[in-house]
Amino acid sequence: MRIRWPRRVSAQVLAIQLTLIGGVMVLATGLSLAPLSSEIDNQAMHQALAIAQTTAADPDIARDLTTTEPTASGPVQRAAERIRRATGALYIVVMDSRGVRWSHTNAVRIGEHVSTDPSAALAGREVMQIDVGTLGRSARAKVPLRTDGGKVVGAVSVGIGYGSVRDQLLATVPRLLLYAGAALAVGALAAVAVSRRLRRRTHGVAFADISALLDEREAMLHGIREGVVAFDRRGRIRLINDEAGRLLRVGADATGRTLEEALPPGRTTEVLAGRVDGADLLTVSGGRVLVANRMPTKDGGAVATLRDRTELELLGRELDSTRGLLDALRAQDHEHANRLHTLLGLLELGLHERASEFIAVLTKAHRASAEQISERVHDPLLSALLVGKSAIVAERGVSLRISPSTLLPGRVVDPRDLVTVLGNLIDNALEAVAGHPCRTPVIEVELRAEGTTAVLRVSDNGPGVPPAMRGHIFTEGWSTKEPALPRSPDAGRRPDEEPAAVPPRGRGIGLALVRRLAERYGGMARVTARAGGGAVFTIVLPEALTGDDTPTHEFTAAGESR
């Protein structure tokens, strides 16, 4: 019958532990019995030697050996049997110098030659050995028999029955097995306890399942499009998947290092280390907007997840820009309607020359504004952004001015980065001046080149930024704007309608992106006070321009850069 191997990890560990413990106890018992048998044999031989020495020390036996005949009733036989019965020896044989017995347990053998070689004892040497004689296997000793003058006249051979030796050994075995059984029981209990603990930790799954789970875990962690970073209780990185490495710009060598060693100081490190409380915390790393969450584990560590929200933020800003353009177009539609009504009235009144002058003035004003921007800003993306922003800020009653010192050649390395910086700064300035009571709200833009360095400056006459806040305004998640209180999501809802979702509040990402872009170029971003009130945002982008006057991009008919 084939023995089935258990599937559970705990059962397998228990079986292996019990097998090992049983094998070790059997081996230990065998190793203990082997020297024990040898020791008992040695003790028996020494006991036989002591009896032989005591017998040979009797002067009457040496004298009677030389003065009497070997008979069953002789004095030598009587003395030897008396000592044998007193000591419990198997036999005591006294022999003369020729090897003839003068005493024996079996009196019939008296007068016969001994069965083993007595030469060593007759030569004056003492002998101990395990041997087989006429009475079977025994532990025996032979000593020379001397007269008072020291002459060897014979020998004494004493044997201890091997049965008694085996009895001693067998008497020791139960006690030894008792100790071994007790040790085996303790080991089995310990194995059971370890097995139960292991079963709780592994939830009773099999080794094959654990292997499959590990393979699935690796595939899942490195296949999902969400960054995962695991930390131990000392704050060292225990695991980092491919997406987290891409988002944080770290490699596989970050494993085993602390966050401070793997990442530069900043909000991202603070969030991942758990020093910033909250859920869905926003941070910017390498120009990418990340949403971070951190969950502690039972062993004192933590697992942090990262989601890339850059594309979502860009889409949201594009949507905001589209809404702004729609609002501007809607306002311009009303304005154009009013102008068309005026033109129609002039024509109906027959004031044709006045109508022509009216059209010329309007066309000249619009063309002058666009031409002014394109003459000073040679990059088409940036000039288009400024023309579009002019319409948006005008719709909100704000004037967008181009500084007289503005002059930016069309040799921008990556105009999209400058569009991001300039668009965020204008939006930030518009929010500031639109909510600030001012008679003539103004936003002024200055773009200039200093060699290969681009300097962008946006100023406004809004409330400005207090000095205490200037060190935090470029931090992600921080904003000076108070979010408007949203209307209650359940206001006006019928009982049978689903509850409406509360719209999310702003998180202060625009200026953080500006700072990250400036740092990526090796530049800086700062805010200062404007003379007469307001704020001035200055962004310096080294190496943002090429060294020649050749434009770095062209436009296709579809309006895409290449």
How does residue 5 score in pLDDT terms, banded at 50, 70 and 90?
A: low
Residue predicted with more confidence, 544 or 192:
544
Residue 320 lies in a domain: no
Q: Is 297 found in the same domain as 387?
A: no
533 and 395 share one domain:
yes
Q: Total domain count for the chain?
A: 3
Confidence class of residue 6 from pLDDT cuts 50, 70 and 90? low
Q: Considering the domain boundaries, does residue 230 fall inside one?
A: yes
Which of 152, 168, 184 corresponds to the end of one domain? 168
Residue 36 maps to a domain: yes
Tell me if 52 is assigned to some domain. yes
The reply to whether 394 and 532 lie within a common domain is: yes
Nearest in space to 407 (alpha carbons), one of 369, 451, 447: 447
Residue 223: pLDDT over 70: no
- The rounded distance, in Å, linking the Cα atoms of 193 and 14 is 9
Q: Is residue 253 part of a domain?
A: yes
- 43 and 150 housed in the same domain: yes
User: Do 258 and 378 belong together in one domain?
Assistant: no
pLDDT band for position 154 (cuts 50, 70, 90): very high
Helices marked H in 407-465 — which ranges? 415-434
Burial class (CB in 10 A: 0-12, 13-18, 19+), 189: exposed
Cα separation, 518 vs 418, whole angstroms: 10
Q: Last residue of some domain: 120, 150, 168? A: 168
Identify which has the larger pLDDT, 130 or 132: 130
> How far from chain centre, in Å, is Cα 320?
42
* CB-CB neighbours of 217 under 10 Å: 11
**Residues 6+ positions from 349 with CB-CB distance below 8 Å:** none
Going by pLDDT thresholds of 50, 70 and 90, the confidence category of residue 536 is: very high
- Whether residue 553 has pLDDT greater than 60: no
pLDDT for residue 325: 57
Contact 459, 542 (CB under 8 A): no
Give me the CATH number covering residue 425: 3.30.565.10
Give the model's pLDDT for residue 318. Answer: 62
Instruction: Give yes or no: residues 393 and 287 share one domain.
Output: no
| Type of residue at 397 | G
Q: Who's near 234: CB < 8 A, 6+ residues apart?
A: 258
Mean pLDDT within 92-114: 89
Q: List Cβ neighbours of 90 (8 Å cut-off, separation of 6 or more).
A: 105, 135, 138, 159, 160, 161, 164
pLDDT, tens digit, for every residue of 33-71? Answer: 666 667 777 888 888 899 999 888 888 888 888 888 888
Which of 137-141, 171-175, 524-528, 557-561 holds the top average pLDDT?
A: 524-528
Average pLDDT over residues 281-287: 74
DSSP sequence for 205-241: -BHHHHHHHHHHHHHHHHHSSSEEEEE-TTSBEEEE-
Q: Is the pLDDT of residue 549 over 70?
A: no
Q: Which of the four pLDDT bands, split at 50, 70 and 90, describes residue 550?
A: very low
User: In this structure, what CATH number is given to the domain that contains residue 134?
Assistant: 3.30.450.20
> CA 445, CA 182: separation in Å to the nearest integer?
91
pLDDT level of residue 367 (50, 70, 90 thresholds): low
Of the ranges 27-36, 46-55, 362-371, the best mean pLDDT one: 46-55
More confident residue, 451 or 472: 451
Q: Are residues 446 and 534 in the same domain?
A: yes
Question: Is 364 inside a domain boundary?
Answer: no
What is the domain range of residue 387? Answer: 373-481+505-541
Shared-domain flag, residues 241 and 116: no
